[in-house]
A and B are shown apart, each in its own frame.
Chain A
Amino acid sequence: MTTDIIRYIELKNRLFNKKYSSIYEIFLIITDISEVIVRKEKKAAFTIDNLQNQGVWILGQSEYLEVFIDESQEHLQTLNDHLMQLEKEPEDISIVGEIFRSAHTLKGMGATMGFEDLARLTHNLENVLDLIRHEHMSVTSHVMDVVFESVDDLEEMITDIAGGGDGSRDVSEAVQKLEVLQSGEDKETAAKSEAAAAVHVESSQDTDNTAVSESYDEYERTVLKQSQEQGYTPYKLEITLDEQTMLKAARVYMVFDVLEQVGDIIKSTPSADELEDENFESSFVITVISSVELEELRQRVLKVSEITNVSVEVVNVDEPAPATDNGSNDTPEKPAEDASAEKNEQQEDAAKPAKADKPEKQNTGSKKGSELNKTIRVNIDRLDVLMNLFEELVIDRGRLEQISSELNNSELNETVERMSRISGDLQEIILNMRMMPIDQVFNRFPRMVRSLSKELGKKVNLEITGAETELDRTIIDEIGDPLVHLIRNSIDHGIEQPDVREAAGKSPEGNVHLSAYHSGNNVFIEIEDDGNGIDQEKVIKKSLENGVVNEEDLEKMNDQQIFGLMFASGFSTAQEITDISGRGVGLDVVRNTFETLGGNITVNSVYGRGSLFSVQLPLTLSIIDVMLVEIGKEKYGVPLTAIVETAIVNKNEVHSAHGQKVIDFRGNVIPLVFLNEIFEVPDTETAGEDEYYSLVIVSKGDKIAGLVVDSLIGQHDVVLKSLGSYLSNVFAISGATILGDGQVALILDSNALIK
């Protein structure tokens, strides 16, 4: 135990000397150490429980839990991304290397933090990936399904851990499936050994003179290299047990015991777990660092009974084993490739010379790597506090601006102006800090679409553009579920079965295009599919049946308004309730979510050709630009995002149509909304005397209306505050703000005023 601690400290110092940039590398090394420790523990008792204790011993659990969760989620995402990529290009084995590394890191972190089920599942996942990586298993749809399932399990475990759980989960089914994969595939390979190592041996036997072959990861090589620098020699031992051996695991432990008397075990293939379970045929490979001579080592191991053969070789750490002539992609080259990939990622080298032939595919990966290095993690609570403080500042800024304009002192004016400018910049930075790429929401969709289309027997190609578009975090947090709903809808109701599509002259594979882009102060998200589109007749019939609309109103509606009926509450077009959509949550909930966020949703469709759902969202929620208006003695703010323009019209330009006052505005007849009537504003006697109306023209989608106010005060940046839970659902009021003079002004929700 003490030697381990010393070893740990030594390694730690080395790590710091080398200035390793990413914490995950530290995790990797620590994991290896913990594996060594665990192996020692296992000599005494065949239990994995100690792993947890050792893990805790090495890293204070709670202290690192947050980091663990964050990094795990990142690795899960990398796993998902690369798996999707692999499925598209099953031949590209280099992707498997990336996947393998993520899985391996996850395993290491999981074991270190003491999450056994997670470690166990990733371990098995890793084995399967290893077989794929070494081309002993081909990437079939079935293999991918099993791998995806286990990634799902992993995700749930991490979610559980993030939610304060212990991350335990029944992984036996997933593990079993993975094991079946491993054994099933192995039977087909020439070598009947279960583990990759034995396979390596055989595949490289004809070209290499030695029978011992082993592949090392970057960090393993690092450890080996460092040990060599300290005067130890790394050895590879291939040990073959007698076929008749009854207690293979016992022999293995005797070998481990012998080796650890003279050195440290760095790696074994198969892994210690598998050796313990006697999950191997008769031979296994161990990598040891030791100061004793090669022959002595061999003799020591041979003293263990029932061992028929031991072949020992010094590991050449500096350069990977020479590539074989026949198979350029053979095992020895793999570690080098992986190593270079990893190094590239650390060095955030987007160009990736080692993989120059496929630079684009690596972009996401390398981007992630660079983000890791260039960012710091800040708890969102702190950002919220910062935001709140800044809001206070904005209020005081308004007050100061007002005072200075009243005092009319040029020096004060100058200073206040300067301060306003700086705080404006500050505001931009703070708001930007809260911005996150919408990829945070989008990145889970490829997986979802994949499993959905499988489930429904449809072929769907999901294309995503503009995933880098940034949105305020609070909005990002909210839009996930409604977007899921919309995409499910598109695939479930929009995209047809392949045979139906072919009959309609379309390609059997349906397309769903998810895009996001900025426009002005808004972000637009569009979901377009080339499926069946929406049957307008059906929408009309259903709306009338469910009393969503009456015939009279219906006649006045244009196409888009009719499609818009689908978002009314009490409407559902699903003919048959499927598992995918129609779970009782209708499109009205989707619309509500977007509207609460200050956005809206519209739909357009050509029956038989496809449909387009377009969502408009504000960039940010808390600080908004408003036009302050006065009605009677009350001040209201109209969000600038809703305003088309302001106008002053003569009273004799106002006409009356069906009891509704309207004006002719640039060729359009638009209704007037008298805010003093709607808000029952007292003391508006002045309004009657004026010859003109002051109008704020607002829009909602393609509908416009003119809000009649007494006067326009001007444009202001204000902090939108909620009216509190006691006053939820006030008609046409979305919140309030505090003006420079300390008064409260209400913010209009113009969407509610346009019918």
Chain B
Amino acid sequence: MAVETAEGYVKVIVFQLKDEEYAIEVDDVQSIEKMQAVTRIPGVEPYIIGVMNLRGVITPVMDLRKRFELESRPYDEATRILVLKRDNSDIGFIVDGANDVMDIAASNIEPTPEVVGGVAEEYLRGVIKLEERLFTLLHIDKILNKQDDKQRSGM
């Protein structure tokens, strides 16, 4: 599913979450939005903070910190919403900040090591090593899949 640019390159968006950098393939990302008003939806998983009006489309918004059970932090100027297109419906991921768009050689992607930060291993697809930087490539389908969520709070 990785769309390869040139020879064996993957274009990714690099974003900040807590003190680590993560990556999502650029093809999955529809747009990057500034933080905006979100309407709370009652009775859903706590990491779904609500829905927003994205140019006339009602778009659910998920707080990735809450999804990965990292400690919360107030949203600020740097906070971004990555809007992803999935199965004909959009979903927004709130991240601490969008840092970069990069071409990564497929050879730089390595399998996930045993322990990575605080993010449960099942959401990760691999680790990208690039000089002194280290990004974690996220597994979007796993993040979106509510059934697989073993730590799901008893809603």
Contacts and interface: CB of A to CB of B under 8 A. Distances in A.
Interface stretch (A16-24, A260-268, A346-354, A676-684): A676-684
A744 interface: yes
A743 B36 CA distance: 10
A746 B86 CA distance: 22
Contact of A722 (B40, B43, B53, B58): B58
Interface of B is mostly: strand
Interface string B53-73: 100111110000000000000
Contacts of A738: 53, 56, 58
A742 interface: yes
B51 interface: yes
A730 B44 CA distance: 7
A723 B39 contact: no
A678 B60 contact: no
Given A736-B51, A743-B37, A744-B39, A726 B58 contact: no
A634 interface: yes
B51 A723 contact: yes
Interface residues of A, number: 27
Nearest to A743: B37
B60 A395 contact: no
A743 B48 contact: no
A730 B50 CA distance: 11
Contacts of B43: 679-680, 730-732
Given A721-B58, A727-B60, A736-B58, A743 B42 contact: no
B39 A746 contact: yes
Given A730-B41, A730-B44, A736-B39, A725 B53 contact: no
Nearest to A675: B42
Contact of A743 (B53, B86, B89): B53
Most buried by B among A722, A724, A745: A724
B127 interface: no
A391 B144 CA distance: 29
B88 interface: yes
B90 interface: yes
Contacts of B56: 391-392, 395, 738
B42 A744 contact: no
Contacts of A224: none
Interface in A728-753: 730-733, 735-736, 738, 742-746
B52 interface: yes
Contacts of B89: 724-726
Interface residues of B, number: 24
B23 interface: no
Contact of A725 (B41, B57, B87): B87
Nearest to B59: A724
Interface in B87-145: 87-91, 144
Given A736-B58, A743-B37, A725 B42 contact: no
Given A721-B58, A725-B89, A738-B58, A678 B42 contact: yes
Nearest to A728: B89
Nearest to A635: B39
Contacts of A395: 56
Contacts of A679: 42-43
A742 B44 CA distance: 23
B48 A727 contact: yes
B42 to A, nearest CB: 4
Contact of A742 (B53, B59, B86): B53
A732 B44 CA distance: 11
A391 B55 CA distance: 12
Contacts of B42: 678-681, 730-733
Contacts of B87: 725
B52 to A, nearest CB: 7
Nearest to A727: B60
Given A723-B60, A738-B58, A634 B40 contact: yes
25 contacts: A391-B56, A392-B56, A680-B43, A723-B41, A723-B51, A724-B59, A724-B60, A724-B91, A726-B60, A726-B86, A726-B91, A726-B144, A727-B41, A730-B42, A732-B43, A735-B58, A736-B39, A736-B58, A738-B53, A738-B58, A742-B37, A742-B53, A744-B51, A745-B39, A746-B39
Given A726-B91, A732-B43, 18 more contacts: A392-B56, A679-B42, A680-B43, A721-B57, A724-B60, A724-B91, A725-B89, A726-B60, A726-B89, A727-B41, A727-B44, A727-B60, A730-B43, A730-B44, A731-B42, A731-B43, A742-B53, A745-B39
- The 8 lowest CB-CB distance pairs between A and B, nearest first, are A679-B42, A724-B89, A744-B39, A731-B43, A725-B89, A721-B58, A736-B58, A738-B53
